[in-house]
Amino acid sequence: MIVHKTLKRLAAASLAITLVGGAVPANIGAFDLSRSTSVVASAESEISISNATVTMKAHSAKVQSVELNGTKLQKDIDYTVSYSQTDSDGKITEFSAPPKQTGNYKAVITGIGDYQGVITRSFDIVGSGYDGISIIDAGQGLHTPSNEHLFLIFDKKQNTKWCSRVINSGVYANRDSDWLLFEADTPFAIHNYVLTTANDTSRYPGRNWKSWRIYGSNSEAAADYTPSYTEHKVTDIDEDIWSLVNQVTDDTVLQPVNYTEFAYAVPHNRIKYKYYLLILDDIVDTTDNIQQMSEIEFNAALPVSVTHVDAVPADCLNAGNIEHWYDEYNDKYYLDEEAQNEVDEEDVIIPASGHSYGRPEWKYDAKNHTATATFKCENCEDVQTVDATITSKTTSPTYVKEGKKVYTAAVKLNGKTYTTNKTVILDKLTYTPPTITCLKGDGAVKLQWTDVKGAEKYAVAGFISGKWRILDQGEGTSYVLKNLLAGKEYKVCVATKLNGEWFTDPSNAIVVTPKLKPLKDNPAVTYAKGNNAVKLSWDAVDGAEKYAVAGFINGRWKILAEGIGTSYVLKDLKAGYQYKVAVSAMFNGKWNTDLSNAITVTPK
């Protein structure tokens, strides 16, 4: 906590309110110091704000800043602001909110927190001759007398004027341009304004306005407007705050006459603003150092004055209008030159039609990952190409049916969604028959095969008598073929049932055969004699498939008979003759040719 021990009484010089645009004129902002001088610190541990520099607009209740020894104090932390007004009887009225009525007030700045003491500053709410319009601030020459003060331009009296002058600066071009900042209680749009020349404009035509600008704003920051000058001209208008409403350059309307009204139109202007800023860039004779204007009135009730407006067809982007007559001073529309038939603006405007896009032209990339839709306006050259979002839905192919992938591209243009589909056919699945292997068994083989994806069933087929025949079917991938003859070859294949249909591709066929049986000796043969006959008998040989009776005839063995029995009768033999015979057993389909069991028989 800083302790100030040497608190001085306020000197009048330290109270000069900083006024942008010039010092306070004689009758405005004559600050009442009576309360300030009574401020004395009451607590040594707090800092008195009595030496603070207070910045206010000339005619605004707003305290822009309170600065003490280079520190900017914070409103409602370091100080509060209230207002008071003293009437002619000395009665004081207090206000907590900034006053708006025309009159002289005091801003009461009271130290709080680390600060104490009170400073007051006097200010005027100028108001105007117009309800709800009050001047906040202005820049005007140093030597403007009170009877020619800025607010007189708003007082509805032609015989008073705003006449700002700078005696010592010489010409207007060499002094900072005048400006006027005012506030409307109710925002309004300017349709016209009327300037009224002053009492002696014909004598001093150079004082007439030549170039000026009017800006509007609804930003509260507009109330704090402070001009910056470059070579005495107002520059650096903050476009975030201010919008240009009207500009007149090298005016040719105002004439060097006294007490005469000249109207200016601001056609088609509908934007309502609360704050307006008028900047006077130049006067007719820049070698004069005085500007003057008796009155400015906004939205004056001017007589109807219509201008013919040709019909303009609308197109895609630009609105058109029907033929009509427009009163730019009053922003009114008529269907006749006599201005009898007034209509609304919307009745004469033909809205822009907007582009007419038909179905777009779609273009997919090679992989269908991206697509664009190109829209062409039917009525103009406009072309819009929009990137699409793509979704897809796949129906998988099967072994019996093609699948498909349907791509849906969608774009949105002007709130409308357009879609298109593109279908890509997916080929049927290709059937590859399983690969078959086999294991040999005794009189059997075990077939095994590779699994086929999606197989519902398998069938084992055998190639029998020149035709494939299904031998059996099931769900596994192996099968035992039984009752096979050793030494015999069997051609088999496996078919697959997929998606309800049998797929038979015998290219996977293999030839199988069971294990070979061990060869055994031919049986020993006995015989019994008969009349011209011999009965041969032998014991069964384990595993023999059949037997053959062979006779040695003319030096060669010849099969005489074959069968599965174990005896055989040789008939029609000649009595007393010797016959050499043998029995051969068959294994694995082949005769055992070792006929060392041959015997010689002789019938009766």
Task: Point out which span in 48-56, 109-117, 299-307, 350-358 binds Zn ion (CB under 5 A).
Answer: 350-358
Instruction: State which of residues 77, 319, 380, 425 lies at the interface with Zn ion (CB under 5 A).
Output: 380
Distance (Å, rounded) from C-alpha 176 to C-alpha 279?
A: 11
Distance (Å, rounded) from C-alpha 570 to C-alpha 68?
A: 152
Instruction: State which of residues 210, 274, 355, 517 lies at the interface with Zn ion (CB under 5 A).
Output: 355
Which CB, 307 or 385, lies closer to Zn ion?
385
383-421 residues labelled b (16+ CB within 10 A) or e (exposed): eeeeebebeeeeeebbbeeeeebebebebeeeeeebebe
Distance (Å, rounded) from C-alpha 119 to C-alpha 117?
A: 7
Assigned token pair, 338: 């006599």
Distance (Å, rounded) from C-alpha 334 to C-alpha 343?
A: 6
Nearest approach in angstroms of CB 352 to Zn ion is 9
Backbone angles phi, psi at 15, to 5 degrees: -95, 0
- Helix (H) or strand (E) run with residue 346 in it: helix 345-348
DSSP string, 65-103: EEEETTEEPPBTTTEEEEEEEE-TTS-EEEESSPP-SSE
Q: Give bridge partners of residue 479 from the DSSP assignment.
A: 447
Assigned token pair, 216: 């509007």
Number of shown-chain residues binding Zn ion (CB under 5 A): 6
Instruction: State which of residues 34, 74, 226, 379 lies at the interface with Zn ion (CB under 5 A).
Output: 379
Nearest approach in angstroms of CB 402 to Zn ion is 43
Distance (Å, rounded) from C-alpha 313 to C-alpha 352?
A: 9
Instruction: State which of residues 251, 382, 505, 562 lies at the interface with Zn ion (CB under 5 A).
Output: 382
Strand runs labelled E in 328-466: 332-334, 342-343, 349-350, 361-364, 371-376, 383-387, 389-395, 403-413, 416-426, 436-441, 444-449, 455-464
Task: Point out which span in 177-185, 222-230, 298-306, 354-362 binds Zn ion (CB under 5 A).
Answer: 354-362
Rounded to 5°, the CA angle 243-244-248 comes to: 170
Nearest approach in angstroms of CB 362 to Zn ion is 20
Task: Point out which span in 60-68, 110-118, 318-326, 355-363 binds Zn ion (CB under 5 A).
Answer: 355-363
Nearest approach in angstroms of CB 373 to Zn ion is 16
Nearest approach in angstroms of CB 357 to Zn ion is 8
Nearest approach in angstroms of CB 377 to Zn ion is 3
Nearest approach in angstroms of CB 371 to Zn ion is 23
Q: Which amino acid is at 13?
A: A
Nearest approach in angstroms of CB 318 to Zn ion is 11
Nearest approach in angstroms of CB 381 to Zn ion is 8
Burial class (CB in 10 A: 0-12, 13-18, 19+), 69: exposed
Which CB, 382 or 562, lies closer to Zn ion?
382
Task: Point out which span in 13-21, 248-256, 358-366, 378-386 binds Zn ion (CB under 5 A).
Answer: 378-386
Q: Which amino acid is at 115?
A: Y
Which CB, 326 or 375, lies closer to Zn ion?
375
| Position 559 contacts Zn ion (CB under 5 A) | no
Which CB, 114 or 382, lies closer to Zn ion?
382
Nearest approach in angstroms of CB 378 to Zn ion is 7
Nearest approach in angstroms of CB 330 to Zn ion is 35
Backbone angles phi, psi at 398, to 5 degrees: -120, -175
Task: Point out which span in 340-348, 379-387, 419-427, 548-556 binds Zn ion (CB under 5 A).
Answer: 379-387
- Interface with Zn ion in residues 16-75 (CB under 5 A): none
Strands 192-196 and 295-298: antiparallel
Task: Point out which span in 82-90, 209-217, 349-357, 437-445 binds Zn ion (CB under 5 A).
Answer: 349-357
Which CB, 40 or 352, lies closer to Zn ion?
352
Which CB, 316 or 560, lies closer to Zn ion?
316
SS (H, E, C) 257-288: CCCCEEEEECCCCCCCEEEEEEEEEEECCCCC
Which CB, 147 or 379, lies closer to Zn ion?
379
Instruction: State which of residues 171, 173, 241, 377 lies at the interface with Zn ion (CB under 5 A).
Output: 377
Nearest approach in angstroms of CB 382 to Zn ion is 4
Which CB, 360 or 523, lies closer to Zn ion?
360
Residue 66 · residue 72 · CB < 8 Å: yes
Going residue by residue from 161 to 200, which x/- string records binding to Zn ion, judged by CB under 5 A?
A: ----------------------------------------
Nearest approach in angstroms of CB 355 to Zn ion is 4
Burial class (CB in 10 A: 0-12, 13-18, 19+), 143: middle
Residue 562 · residue 582 · CB < 8 Å: no
Residue 508 DSSP SS3: helix
Task: Point out which span in 240-248, 369-377, 473-481, 517-525 binds Zn ion (CB under 5 A).
Answer: 369-377
Task: Point out which span in 221-229, 271-279, 321-329, 374-382 binds Zn ion (CB under 5 A).
Answer: 374-382
Going residue by residue from 308 to 327, which x/- string records binding to Zn ion, judged by CB under 5 A?
A: --------x-----------
* Contact residues: Zn ion, CB under 5 A: 316, 355, 377, 379-380, 382
